Each structure stands twice: as C-alpha cells, then as structure tokens.
Structure 1
Amino acid sequence: MSGLVLRLAGPLQSWGEHSVFTQRDSLRFPTRSGLIGLLASAEGLHRGRPLSAYEELRFTVRIDRPGIRMIDFHTIGGGLPRGVPRPDGTQRPRDTATMVTRRQYLADAVFTVAVDGSDQRIDELAQALRRPHWQPYLGRRSCPPDQPLLLRQTDDAVAHLETKVPLARRLRQGEEPVVEFVVEGTADAADAVTEIADVPESFNRYDRRYRTRSVSIITRTLPGQLCSAGEEFWERLIAYVTEEES
C-alpha cells in the first residue's frame, strides 16, 4: 500500500451530504464523495462512468483549521428565455423560473488528507493531480484549491499526518497542538462516531446515488515542532514537499 498527502485549502470549500437544490449544506470536513469528485476531475472521468476504481481508497482527514461556516444567498433563472431546467430534464415555466437557493460554505478552512490505496492506483492519481485533466475543486466547482494541493506521495501517508506534515498554528508557551482526525469506520478511541451518506455509487446527473458509511472523530495531540506560523510555516511546508523520502 502507498498513499498521497493532500492539502485542501482555499477561500471557500463546501462538502455537501444531504443537499437538495434550494438548500445546499456543508459538513465540517471533506466527504468521501467530495474527495472522489476531486480525484475524478483530475483524472478526467466523465459523469455517469463507473466509480469502481475509487472503492479501494481510504481517506483520513486532519482538521488543521475548521474555518467559518457561512451561508450564501443566490437567485437563479430570472430572465432565462427557456426557464430553469428540472432534474427530469423538463423546464420550469418562465413566470416561475426565478428560484432562491441558500448554500453553505466553509470559509478559510484547511484540511490535510491521507489517501491510501494500491501502489498502481496511487501512482495513477499522483500523475493526474500533477497534470489534471479538469480543474480539481473543493466540493463545488466554484471552490478551486490553493496550491500546493499534492504535498507528497509516500508509503505511510497517515503517519505523515501525525508526525511530519507542518501545521499552521501559533502555540503559547508550554501548549501542545490538539487536532481532530476523521477516520473511516468505527474506531475504539473515537470521541464521536457518526453515519453519513457520502459513498457515491453514481455521479450521473439524473441518477445520483450514495451509500452510507460510519466515520469516527478522534482527537490527537501532535508534536509541538510541527507548528509554526507566517513565513516560517510556508518555508517548512515547501521543505516538506521538496525533501526526498527517507
């Protein structure tokens, strides 16, 4: 097994789980469906194509900065000559075409993600992320990621989250960094376990289907030397990205 270390950061992110058209929610951490969507975009996978190539992947999320939840108010469809399309492909009448939607985002959030899979699959994903077919995005196409997105390809990505990947945080004297991890399945040391419907079976525009899975939230204390702020943090992050695997 090998893995990738990704850094998900940007002005806005949105990781919906049970959204409907007029109310778009966001969980407080990246979803499996959102992460698979990011990778599928980089690989150029068309909507409706089988997602079996992503089933083997395991995701571990480190919540570096939870961000601020915000709600954006939208109106769509006003003045469109043919009205707003319905999910079944028909059109809403023009006199009822304007629709109000409210969409949740996470502003200024940062997550570090370990992606584990077979050596061949991880090699394919690393190549796609270095030269993406389509723009990767953080849950929605309106949310492009900051760079660097791909930090490292390594044999033990989860261990890197715990011991090597720099954390942008300023510590007080004697303070230790406490960070939440989101892991797949039910963990014995979990602070909380929840079930979410974010395992995609189909991204088809007219037939999106998802299964449920369990995830565990675990609080861990990380080594204090991982923490830095400002210019020092970016120097450490660049050093981590460019250093050779030992």
Structure 2
Amino acid sequence: MTEYLIFRLYAPLASWGEAAVGESRPTATYPRRSAIIGLLGAALGVRRDDDEGQRRLRDSLGIAIKQRSPGSLLRDYHTVQVPASQSRVTYRTRRDELNAPKKVINTILSSRDYRCDGLWTVAVWLMPRAELALEALERALESPYFPLYLGRKACPPGAPLAPRRKTVACLRDALDTDFPPLCGRTTEEEHRALRLPDNSLYAWEGDAERLDGNGRGVESSEAWDDPLHRRRWQFGPRTEYRRMVRAGEER
C-alpha cells in the first residue's frame, strides 16, 4: 500500500511548455514533471532562486498524470516590442524598455500554444529520500503561498484543485479517484461540456508495471523535463511510461 496526494487540474486555458526553438512555443497535451514541481513549489512558497528548496522538491516526489481530456488546441499569434541589444544601455524595467527611442525598438513575433478546457488528475508520492510530507503539500494546495498557474500566468485554475490523500494498492486506483463535477454540473453534463473522450491517457515514472501491475500496452520514452536548475532553466532526462486505457477496460 502506498499513500498518494491526488488533485485535479482544470482551466479554460493551460500551457504545458515543451522544448521551444525560435518563434514557436508549443504545449504538451498534459503537464510534465517540471510543471507539477513548479506548481507545488509555488504552493509551498519555494522561490525559483531557492536552489535547496527546489532540490528537496525534485528529489522527494514521484509524479503521475491521468489525462481525462487534452482539451483543444489554441494558437496565439504574439508580438512583443523590445529595444535592440546595445552594450552600453541597461533596461531595468519593462517601462524603461518601452520608453526607449523608437528607432531602437524591434518587434519579436512568436506563436504560443494553449490547451482549452483540458482536464487532468495528478498523483504524487514520496520517494525513499523524501524531505517533505504529503500532509504539508496538501495544506499548501488548499491555501497556496503564491498564486497557482497552469503553465503561464494567463492560465489560473478554473476549478478547485480539491487535494486529498489516499492510501491504495496501486497507482491507477489513486488516479481513478472521482472529483465533484465542475461548476455544479452533473457528471453527464460535465462529460458533454468538456467533450471527454472514452480513452484516458496515463503517464507515470518508476517502472512499467507501477500503474496497475500490468505491463501490457505500455510504451516508454525519454522525457527531458526533470528540473535540475530553475534559474538556469536546465532540465535532465527521465524515463516516462504511458498507457491508453478505454473506459470500463478490465485490468
């Protein structure tokens, strides 16, 4: 039996950043390890420049996701005006940048992706060398120190995270936890409003059979989403396992 902390993520807009090159800023269909570590760190009040606090989070937690719906893709054409790089000029605030002479202002174009009306269940558990407690994480999610966002500051949660602790025999029992329907809807209304598919995607770390003791139909890949150094935006690799499960499918 393992104790898990389980919570729900939903928002009209979410953005789970992936490797970004050039003008494109893509999003994954579900939150990655770095996103969950960042969200829990914000709830606890761990700052990005707190290297020791970030290390404790990274080394203490195992993470799994159940994607109930990836949401629909929205692409935002984004423009930002910034001053040209000049070795003798330092802009300390955004106001300083915008007050720069027009002749040195450049426009940067980018394409930013979001997921609309996505719905995910997250389960975290303690690793053997954990320096945190699930009870403390649960309290932090109920009353976060910093505002919580689903990837970007424009993406606050659209429903309570409803964190809870649960001790179960397998990870899938934790991820299949039911939450109250969103916005007072019935379960059937929520299913129709969010266009929830019949399939759910499970993604986890550890080993192939951790989900429910059955390694059949499991695929794996290397994911570069383990936050090694927040201030330098450095990420390391880990092995992620995934399995698509149809509603009502026997284990």
Which bin holds the TM-score, normalised by the shorter protein? Answer: 0.7 to 0.9
Query: Against the structure 1 CA distance between its residues 125 and 85, is the aligned structure 2 distance closer, same or farther, given a 3 Å change threshold?
Result: farther
Query: Against the structure 1 CA distance between its residues 140 and 84, is the aligned structure 2 distance closer, same or farther, given a 3 Å change threshold?
Result: farther
Distance 1:85 1:216 in 2: 43
Query: Does the Cα contact within 8 Å between 1:61 and 1:182 map onto a contact in 2?
Result: yes
Among 123, 131, 136, which residue is 1:124 paired with? 136
Count of matched residue positions in the alignment of Structure 1 and Structure 2? 211
1:70 is the counterpart of 2:70: no
Letter of the 2:173 partner, please give it.
A
Letter of the 1:217 partner, please give it.
R
Counterpart of 2:211 in structure 1 is none
Distance 2:41 2:71 in 1: 25
Distance 1:96 1:61 in 2: 43
Listed as ranges, the gaps of 5+ residues in structure 1 are 171-175, 225-246
Counterpart of 1:219 in structure 2 is 244
Query: Against the structure 1 CA distance between its residues 22 and 121, is the aligned structure 2 distance closer, same or farther, given a 3 Å change threshold?
Result: farther
Counterpart of 2:226 in structure 1 is 199
Counterpart of 1:178 in structure 2 is 199
Matches for 1:35-114 after TM superposition, within 5 Å: 35-50=36-51, 51-54=54-57, 55-77=59-81, 83=83, 95-114=104-123
| TM superposition shift of 1:177 | 4.6
Per-residue CA deviation, residues 192-238 of structure 1 (Å, 9 max, x unaligned), is 3222210001111xx111001121111234559xxxxxxxxxxxxxx
Distance 1:214 1:150 in 2: 28
Distance 1:65 1:38 in 2: 20
Distance 2:29 2:90 in 1: 34
| TM superposition shift of 1:101 | 1.2
Distance 2:222 2:230 in 1: 20
Query: Does the Cα contact within 8 Å between 2:81 and 2:105 map onto a contact in 1?
Result: no
Identical-residue share of aligned pairs (%): 29
1:162 is the counterpart of 2:176: yes
Counterpart of 1:3 in structure 2 is 4
Listed as ranges, the gaps of 5+ residues in structure 2 are 92-96, 181-186, 209-214
TM-score (norm 2): 0.73
| TM superposition shift of 1:11 | 0.6
Distance 2:164 2:239 in 1: 27
| TM superposition shift of 1:45 | 1.3
Query: Does the Cα contact within 8 Å between 1:163 and 1:223 map onto a contact in 2?
Result: no
Distance 2:150 2:203 in 1: 17
Q: 1:7 is paired with a residue of what secondary structure?
A: strand
Distance 1:124 1:149 in 2: 15
RMSD over equivalenced CA pairs, Å: 3.0
TM-score (norm 1): 0.74
Counterpart of 1:234 in structure 2 is none
Letter of the 2:140 partner, please give it.
A
Counterpart of 2:94 in structure 1 is none
| TM superposition shift of 1:46 | 1.3
